[in-house]
Chains A and B, each alone.
Chain A
Amino acid sequence: MSDIPIVAFKCKKCSKVHYPFHDRCLKCKGREFESIHPAGKAKLVTFTQIFNLPWGFDERFLIIGIGEFENGVKAMGQIHADDIAGLKLGMKMAPTWAPIRKVHGEDVYGLKFEPA
């Protein structure tokens, strides 16, 4: 059972994994999906360190990346690191479900990767 409550969608006809939701499969246009959660560690597909943040963030920078999980789910998440010096394309990341921003003073949770 995954700790990450993101719901991804595996096409029942052709097994293509989708995240986020699509009403029809991107490959075969099928409409039936099995709900799955991201499972296992994630491979770091790409990342960046952003210094000019949008309204709503008090941090000086954010590190954001895309991880590909062992069961094929691909998702964007923040990366918990002091800087990007230690990050490399393809490295293994451990996913967590953690606060990613505040909206009206309340924590909003999302995917946060840490070097595994």
Chain B
Amino acid sequence: MPVDMELETVLRPPQVPMPPYPPKWITLANGKKMVVRQAVREDVPAILKSVHPCLFIERDYYDIVSARLYGELLAWYRHRVKSEYCLLGQVDGYLVGIVNGRLENEKVGMSYHTLAIDRGLRIGSHLFAAKMEYHIDFIGQDEVLIVAESPIGFRRWMVEYPLEPTKIPHELGGGDSWVLTRETYLKAKPRLVVGDRPVPKALLEQAMAEIKFADDDTIRERIAGLKGR
């Protein structure tokens, strides 16, 4: 698609500089190692292939999370969003989870979504914690605004951190945001944020070489147990 670069300077939102997220690895409950690393824009078309089957799964609000995530990732790919990032979870190279968010300004972050493709392993918890780690420990922000679409998210974030309610509207739906402050993050960190750095060379190379995607049926089965449907 032809792009007018001069017009793009008007259409593209400004970007807040972001240092890169240093990759880490986590041992999951089944013993497998998950690499958590930052995606680049060029990864988006392939990532969307994993998100696509989730658009049609009602269970646990996967449809709305996926639909919004799809749009957010596409907006990032097409330079139509301010300071978005995306972190991936990979096991044996396979994409098992995606989290994203953006920076509203130097000090305040806006959490977008958490999508776990493999379930029952706390992948969502680990990846959400990784993005909070990014906002606060690596970018140096003071707080992150968060909402939850699903009761599972509500339990894992609002209850378990815990987060404080605010009257600040969140751009995901306009309802009231909850906030994770630096203080709460640091208190919760020992029990909620784990992972080792650096990632062993072979493990990182495997994750960086290729984002492998399970086929649609496998993804649907993993999420919703909908084998063959």
Contacts and interface: CB of A to CB of B under 8 A. Distances in A.
Interface of A: 51, 60
A60 B160 CA distance: 6
B163 to A, nearest CB: 10
A38 to B, nearest CB: 32
B146 to A, nearest CB: 16
A51 B162 CA distance: 12
A56 B162 CA distance: 16
A51 B192 CA distance: 14
Interface string B158-186: 01101000000000000000000000000
Interface of B: 159-160, 162
Contacts of B159: 60
A60 B159 CA distance: 6
Going nearest first, the 4 A-B pairs with the smallest beta carbon separation are A60-B162, A60-B159, A60-B160, A51-B160
Main DSSP-derived SS at the B contact region:
loop
A91 B169 CA distance: 48
A108 B162 CA distance: 23
Nearest to B159: A60
Contacts of A60: 159-160, 162
Nearest to A51: B160
A51 B188 CA distance: 14
Nearest to A53: B159
A98 B160 CA distance: 25
A60 B162 CA distance: 7
Nearest to A60: B162
A100 to B, nearest CB: 19
Nearest to B160: A60
Contacts of B162: 60
Contacts of A51: 160
A107 B188 CA distance: 29
Nearest to A58: B159
Nearest to B162: A60
Nearest to B188: A60
A60 B154 CA distance: 12
Contacts of B160: 51, 60
A80 B179 CA distance: 26
A59 to B, nearest CB: 9
A76 to B, nearest CB: 23
B42 to A, nearest CB: 40
B179 to A, nearest CB: 16
A60 B157 CA distance: 11
4 contacts: A51-B160, A60-B159, A60-B160, A60-B162
